[in-house]
Chains A and B, each alone.
Chain A
Amino acid sequence: MKNSLTTRMILWVTLSVTAIFTAVGSYDYWFTNNLLNLQLRQLAELEVSASETKASDMLDRLQHQANLTAALVTQVAPSQKKLESMISTAMQQNEAAYGMAIVVEPNKTSDAENKSYASYFFRSGEGLNFVNLASESYNFRQKGWYLQAQQLERPQWTEPYFDEGGGETLMSTYLVPVKREGGLTLITIDLALSTLQKMLAKMEDKQDMSIYAMTPGGHIISGNDESLMLQKLYEIGSRAKNTPPWFHTLIEEIKNQKSGSFSTYCQRMQEDCWISYAPLGNTQWTMLVSYSHASLTAQLNTYSIHRFLQMALGIILLILVIWGITRRQFLPLKELDKATQAFAQGKLDYALPTAPRNDEIGSLTQSFSRMQVSLQEHIEELQRETKQRERINSELRTASEIQQSLLPSDNEINNNALGIQLSAYLQPARAVGGDLYYYHIQKNDEPLLRFVIGDVSDKGVAAAIFMARVVTAIRAIGEQVADPADLLTQLNHQLVEDNEACMFVTLLAGTLDLHSGELKIASAGHPMPFYLHAESDKVAQIKQITQLNGPALGLYEYQFESLKITIEPNSYLFAYTDGLDEATNTQNELYGEDSIIKNLKSHFPSSTSELISNTLSAVNQFTDDAEPADDLTLLAIHWEGAIKGQAKMHTKEITIKNRQEELEQVNSALNEYLVEHHLPESLLLELQLIAEEIMVNTINYGYADRVDETISVLISHNEHQITMTFVDRAKAFNPLELGEARLGIPEAEDAVGGLGVHLVKEMCDTCSYEYVAGENRFTVKILLEKGK
Chain B
Amino acid sequence: MSLTIEVVNQAADCTKMYLIGRLDTNTAQQLEGIIDKEVNEKTNMLTFDLANLEYISSAGLRVLFKTSKALKKHGGHFALMHLQPQIQKVLDIVKALPTVPIFRNEQEMDEYLDAMQKKVLDGDN
List residues of chain A with CB under 8 Å of any chain B CB.
660-661, 663-664, 667, 685-686, 688-689, 692-693, 696, 741, 743-746, 749, 752-753, 755-756, 758-759, 762-763
Contacts of B94 in A (CB 8 A): 741, 743-744, 755, 758-759
Of all chain B residues, the one with the shortest Cβ separation from A760 is B58
> B68 near A745 (CB under 8 angstroms)?
yes
Interface string of B1-14 (1 = CB under 8 A from A): 10000000000000
Provide the bound-state CA to CA distance between A746 and B64, in Å: 11
The answer to whether B62 touches A752 (Cβ under 8 A) is yes
Q: In the complex, which residues 61-114 of chain B have their Cβ closer than 8 Å to any Cβ of chain A?
A: 61-62, 65-66, 68-69, 86, 90, 93-98
User: Does the CB pair A755–B58 fall under 8 Å?
Assistant: yes
Chain B residue with Cβ nearest A746: B65
Quick check: B55 and A693 within 8 Å, CB to CB?
A: no
Cα of A745 to Cα of B71 in the assembled complex, Å: 13
Residue in chain B with minimal CB distance to A741: B94
Task: Give the dominant DSSP class at A's interface.
Answer: helix
In angstroms, Cα B86 to Cα A762, docked, is 13
Contacting pair A745 B97 (CB below 8 A)? yes
Within 8 A of A (CB), among B36-62: 54-55, 57-59, 61-62
Specify which of A692, A743, A753, A758 is in contact with B57 (CB 8 Å cutoff): A692
* Bound Cα distance A763, B65 (Å): 21
**Residue numbers in B under 8 Å from A692 (CB-CB):** 24-25, 57, 59
Tell yes or no: B117 within 8 A of A by CB: no
Distance (Å) between the CB of A665 and the closest chain B CB?
A: 12
Tell me which residues across on chain A come within 8 A of B95, comparing CB atoms: 743-744
- Using Cβ atoms and an 8 Å threshold, which residues of chain B touch A749? 62, 66
Complex: how many Å from CA A745 to CA B62? 9
A696 and B90: CB pair below 8 A? no
Which residues on the B side are within 8 Å of A661 (C-beta)? 26
Q: Which residues of B contact A753 (CB under 8 A)?
A: 58
**A686 vs B57: C-alpha distance when bound (angstroms):** 10
Query: Does B26 contact A664, Cβ atoms closer than 8 Å?
Result: yes
CB-CB under 8 A for A759 and B93, given A663-B25, A664-B26: yes
Known: A663-B24, A744-B98. A758 touches B86 (CB 8 A): no
Whole-angstrom distance from the CB of B71 to the nearest CB of chain A?
12
8 contacts between A and B (CB under 8 A): A685-B54, A689-B57, A693-B58, A743-B94, A749-B66, A752-B59, A762-B93, A763-B93
Q: In the bound complex, do residue B59 and residue A696 qualify as a contact, i.e. CB atoms below 8 Å apart?
A: yes
Nearest B residue to A695, CB-CB: B25
In chain A, what residue has the closest Cβ to B62? Answer: A752
**When A and B form their complex, which 6 residue pairs have the shortest distance between CB atoms, in order from nearest?**
A756-B58, A743-B95, A762-B93, A752-B62, A692-B57, A755-B58
Question: How far in angstroms is the closest Cβ of chain A from B58?
Answer: 4
Q: What's the nearest-Cβ distance from chain A to residue B123, in Å?
A: 26
In this complex, how many residues of chain B approach chain A with their Cβ under 8 Å: the count is 23
The answer to whether A745 and B26 touch across the interface, beta carbons within 8 angstroms, is no
Given contacts A663-B26, A692-B25, A744-B98, contact A752 B61 (CB under 8 A): yes
B69 with A756: CB separation less than 8 A: no
Closest to B66 in A: A749
Give the chain B neighbours of A664 by CB distance below 8 A. 26
* A745 x B55 contact (CB < 8 A): no
Q: How many A-B residue pairs have CB under 8 A?
A: 65
Query: A726 to nearest B CB, angstroms?
Result: 15
With A688-B55, A752-B61, A759-B90 as known contacts, state yes or no: A743 contacts B25, CB within 8 Å. Answer: no
Within 8 Å CB of B55, what residues of A? 685, 688-689
Task: Verify B65–A745 contact, CB threshold 8 A.
Answer: yes
Q: Give the distance in Å from the alpha carbon of A663 to the alpha carbon of B28 in the complex.
A: 14
- Contact residues in B for A696 (Cβ distance below 8 Å): 25, 57, 59
A749 to B61 Cα, complex, angstroms: 11
Contacts of B69 in A (CB 8 A): 745
Distance from A47 Cβ to chain B, minimum over Cβ atoms (Å)? 135
Known: A745-B96, A745-B97. A752 touches B58 (CB 8 A): yes
Q: Chain B residues near A744 (CB, 8 Å)? A: 94-98
Closest CB in chain A relative to B89 CB, distance in Å: 9
Residue of chain A at shortest CB distance from B58: A756
Chain A residues near B25 (CB-CB < 8 A)? 660, 663, 692, 696
- Distance in angstroms between the alpha carbons of A664 and B66 in the assembled complex: 25
Q: Tell me how far the C-beta of B93 lies from the nearest C-beta in chain A, rounded to whole angstroms.
A: 4
Q: Return B106 CB to nearest CB of chain A, in Å.
A: 26
Chain B hits for A688, CB < 8 A: 24, 55
B59 to chain A: which residues have CB within 8 Å?
692, 696, 752
Question: How many whole Å from A390's CB to the nearest CB in chain B?
Answer: 53
- How close is A746's CB to chain B, nearest CB, in angstroms? 6
**C-alpha gap A510/B97 in the complex (Å):** 59
* Residues on B with beta carbons closer than 8 Å to the beta carbon of A746: 62, 65
A540–B62 Cα distance when bound, in Å, is 54
B57, B61, B90 interface centre (most CB from chain A within 10 Å): B57
Complex CA gap A741/B97 in Å reads 15
- The residues of A that contact B58 with a CB separation of less than 8 Å are 693, 752-753, 755-756, 759
Known: A660-B26, A692-B25. A755 touches B61 (CB 8 A): yes
**Complex Cα spacing A688 to B59, Å:** 13
Q: Which residues of B contact A660 (CB under 8 A)?
A: 25-26
User: How far apart are the CA atoms of A693 and B60 in the complex, in Å?
Assistant: 11
Complex interface: chain A residues within 8 A of B62 (CB): 746, 749, 752, 755
Task: Name the residue in B26, B65, B94, B97 with the highest tally of chain A Cβ atoms < 10 Å from its Cβ.
Answer: B94
Distance from B30 Cβ to chain A, minimum over Cβ atoms (Å): 13
Given A664-B26, A696-B25, A745-B68, 11 new contacts (CB under 8 A) = A663-B26, A667-B1, A685-B55, A689-B57, A693-B57, A743-B95, A744-B95, A744-B96, A745-B97, A752-B65, A763-B93
Tell me whether B65 and A685 are in contact (CB under 8 A): no
Instruction: Decide: A743 and B54 in contact? CB cutoff 8 A.
Output: no
Distance to closest chain B CB from A50 (angstroms): 140
CA A755 to CA B96, docked complex, whole Å: 10
For A756, list chain B residues within 8 Å (CB).
57-58
B residues less than 8 Å from A762 (CB atoms): 93
With A660-B26, A692-B25, A692-B57: A758-B65 Cβ-Cβ less than 8 Å: no
The docked-state distance in angstroms from the alpha carbon of A743 to that of B86 is 18
- Determine whether the beta carbon of B90 is less than 8 Å from that of A689: yes
CA distance A743 to B61 in the complex (A): 12
Q: A60 vs B59: C-alpha distance in the bound complex, in angstroms?
A: 158
CB distance from B50 to the nearest CB of A (A): 14
Alpha-carbon distance A752/B95, docked complex (angstroms): 13
By beta carbon, the residue of chain B nearest A747 is B69
Q: How far is the CB of A487 from chain B (nearest CB, A)?
A: 49
CA gap between A741 and B61 in the complex, in Å: 14
Rounded to whole Å, the gap between the CB of B20 and the closest CB of chain A is 15
Contact status of A758 and B61, CB under 8 A, knowing A689-B55, A692-B25, A745-B68: no
CA distance A746 to B93 in the complex (A): 14
- Using CB atoms, name the residue of chain B closest to A752: B62
Q: Can you name the residue of chain A whose Cβ is closest to the Cβ of B93? A: A762
Among B1, B25, B66, B69, residue most surrounded by chain A Cβ atoms (within 10 Å): B25
A439 to B107, CA, bound (A): 67
Interchain nearest-CB distance for A694 vs B (Å): 11
Query: A685 near B26 (CB under 8 angstroms)?
Result: no
Q: Which residue of A lies closest to B68 (CB)?
A: A745
Residue on A with the closest CB to B55? A685
Shortest beta-carbon distance from A762 to chain B in Å: 4
